[in-house]
Amino acid sequence: MSDEARRAVVTALIRLSASTDHRDRADAGHSLAGFAEMPEAREPLRGLVLDAGDTSITLTTARALLRRQDAAGLGVVVGALGRAGPNHADWIQSAVLDVFGVFARDRDAAVRVCEALASESDEQTRLGVGRLTAMLVEISPILYPVQNDEP
């Protein structure tokens, strides 16, 4: 897809994210997460993670961002967590458990991304990194890598 087409999609999704209909905002959050690396998508995504009208949008958007398992997605979640109140933080934690509760390698990789994001100088980012890291290290994943006991 060309850069022009990607920008057009992001622009349309940002408009959808401002809808009064919670279903539109949830769809926008889920879809816009695929473009989290684009600077113009970051603030609307943070707004959707912290949606004041419906925490199902928080959960949907946070899950989609976390499933990216990259610095762009985790960075948006960290930015939202730096501003989140207890209710939104609980829903974000539910998304973290959904995404990182199965494979230890995915959880561990997310912790490493958080460590890299911690070098940000912004106070809200550091707060968000600390909150997300705490959520991740509390998880006891279901599956761990097989360890070879042979010498």
Residue 149 within a domain? no
> What are the DSSP calls for 132-146, one per residue?
HHHHHHT---SB-PP
Greatest CA separation for the chain: 62
Q: What domain count does the chain have?
A: 1
Residue 148 within a domain? no
Q: What is the pLDDT of residues 78-126, one digit of tens each?
A: 999 999 999 999 999 999 999 999 999 999 999 999 999 998 778 889 9
In this structure, the chain runs to a length of 151
Residue 96 within a domain? yes
**Which is more confident, 142 or 24?**
24
For residue 147, is it left (φ>0), alpha (ψ between -120 and 50) or beta?
beta
Angle at which helix 86-100 crosses helix 104-117, to 10 degrees, equals 130
Query: 88: domain range?
Result: 3-137
CA 26 – CA 6 distance, rounded (Å): 20
Residue 151 within a domain? no
Instruction: Read off the pLDDT band of 66 (50, 70, 90).
Output: very high
Q: What is the CATH number of the domain that holds 131?
A: 1.25.10
Q: What is the mean pLDDT of residues 10-29?
A: 98
Residue 142 within a domain? no
Query: Looking at residue 37, what DSSP letter applies?
Result: T
Mean of all residue pLDDT scores within the chain: 95
Q: Are 47 and 15 in contact (CB under 8 A)?
A: no
